Amino acid sequence: MPLRVHPVIASLTPYSPGKPLSELERELGVSHAIKLASNENPWGPSPKALQVLEGASSSLHRYPDGGAHYLRQDLADRLKVAPDQVLVGNGSDEIISLLVKAFLSPGEEAVMADLTFVMYRLAVLGGHAVPVEVPLVNWTHDLDAMVKAVTDRTRLLFICNPNNPTGTMVTAQALDRALSQLPDHVVVVLDEAYYEYVRDPDYPDSLRYVREGRPCVVLRTFSKIFGLAGLRVGYGITTPEISGYVNRVRPPFNVNSLAQEAARAALSDDEHVAKSRGMNEAEMTFLEEGLKNLGLSCIPSQANFLYFDVGMDGKRVYDALLKEGVIVRHIRGSMVRVTIGQPTENHRFLDALKMVLAVLTSVQ
Ligand SMILES: *Cc1c(COP(=O)(O)O)cnc(C)c1O
């Protein structure tokens, strides 16, 4: 008997993770390829996290603490909320899926931008629910239009701030206005994966809304500035009521023991965060200048990546850069996203881009 798969599931495109660096190097015959495609911290993990990992491995025969007691306590202390307001997940990706599972039934709606983190759409479709996609304005979330897109069937509204892939942010004022207009049955997901990189003083203090008891979830992660993407750990700050519902659908051991220990150490390493943030800022300025010198304009970014227009088919530029051992992300049309790397990586990216654009322009 043939498999019976729901057409919605069959129609999904699996997330494309890309090949391991070593495999790519072998296929392309290049060495020292650089990956500027996933917005990881190019400076690596916090040294404090690496240190605790050595000690933590001796208890790998035990299941992890299913309640992530100490990690949640640390986060609660630092963020001035109660521990029952802290959710942890196997990356914040998992928390997105758990929110969908807890709040969206088949046919119900989740409002999101039309150019934002792809996991929202995938998770919502996977839950047989309906993504309602609202176009960006000036590469930024159009919160007024998103509020207008809310119906009786809306359960979740995703705001990626700063937005991946555009790097733009919504201001405190804009968010305040939107939240004051939203009905209480909508859970607002404020995805702040790049929170620690933001420099704009108009960035919202989103935890304030959680402390006020509004129905929102602030998502943050150890995958970006904390440099622990490989361990998979993210967290959400929300009301005790919302975390109670998410915990009903959460698998008991969703964050592994090494991740819990390393995350606690990384959280305490203010020096690593400050250094990473400073380097990012300096290198972003360097890359922006470099792109400008190539005649390319990029959108001002509050994160650790730049989104820019290559002025031709972005896929061709992506492929050509790949052959030079430089991996970026082609988003759509002529738009490409590059993660801010270490200085040598950024130089190499700019050199490769300059060469590739010259070649592709001459054969056009
Ligand atoms: C990278 C990223 C995440 C983090 O995902 P993890 O599962 O925590 O690694 C979440 N949201 C956005 C917008 C991101 O870019």
| pLDDT at residue 364, as a whole number | 60
Residue 31 pLDDT: 83
The residues, ordered by sequence, that sit 6+ positions from 232 with a Cβ below 8 Å of its Cβ are 90, 91, 94, 223, 255, 256, 259
Pocket residues: Cβ below 6 A from ligand 1: 39, 91-93, 117, 160, 164, 191, 193, 221, 223-224, 229, 234
The Cα-based distances of 51 to 134, 245, 263, 266 in angstroms read 45, 35, 12, 10
Amino acid at 130: V
The amino acid at residue 33 is A
* Atom of ligand 1 minimally distant from the CA of 116: 13
Query: How far from the centroid of its chain's Cα atoms is residue 30's Cα?
Result: 29
Percent of the chain at pLDDT above 90? 89
Nearest CA to ligand 1 atom 12: 193
Ligand 1 pocket, mutate which of 92, 95, 170, 232 (most atoms under 8 A from CB): 92
**Helices 343-363 and 314-323, packing angle to 10 deg:** 120
- pLDDT, one tens digit per residue, over 11-49 is 988 887 777 888 888 888 888 899 999 999 999 999 999
CA dihedral 9, 12, 13, 17 (to 10 degrees): -60
Identify which of 119, 122, 166 to mutate to test ligand 1's pocket (most ligand atoms within 8 A of the CB): 119
CATH of domain 7-44+271-362: 3.90.1150.10
pTM as predicted: 0.96
CATH 3.90.1150.10 domain span(s) along the chain:
7-44+271-362
Which residues sit opposite 141 in a β-bridge?
none
Domain 47-269 has CATH 3.40.640.10: yes
Find where tokens 């993504």 sit. 131
- Residue 38 CA: which ligand 1 atom is closest? 1
Q: Which of 187, 128, 197, 183 is nearest to 156 (CA)?
A: 187
pLDDT recorded at residue 326: 96
> Quick one: 313 exposed, middle or buried, by C-beta within 10 A (0-12, 13-18, 19+)?
middle
Q: Best of 97, 98, 117, 170 to mutate for ligand 1, by most ligand atoms within 8 A of CB?
A: 117
225 C-alpha to ligand 1 centroid (Å): 11
As a whole number of angstroms, the distance between CA 155 and CA 184 comes to 10
What is the model's pLDDT at position 234?
A: 98
The closest alpha carbon to 194, from 226, 155, 217, belongs to 226
Question: Strand 187-191 vs strand 216-221: parallel, antiparallel, or unpaired?
Answer: parallel
Residue that wins the pLDDT comparison between 176 and 55: 176
For residue range 193-248, what is the model confidence (pLDDT) as tens digits? 999 999 999 999 999 999 999 999 999 999 999 999 999 999 999 999 999 999 99
- Ligand 1 atom with minimal separation from the 160 CA: 13
**How far is the centre of ligand 1, averaged over its atoms, from the C-alpha of 246 (Å)?**
18
* Phi, psi (rounded to 5 degrees) for 216: -140, 160
Confidence of residue 57 (pLDDT cuts 50, 70, 90): confident
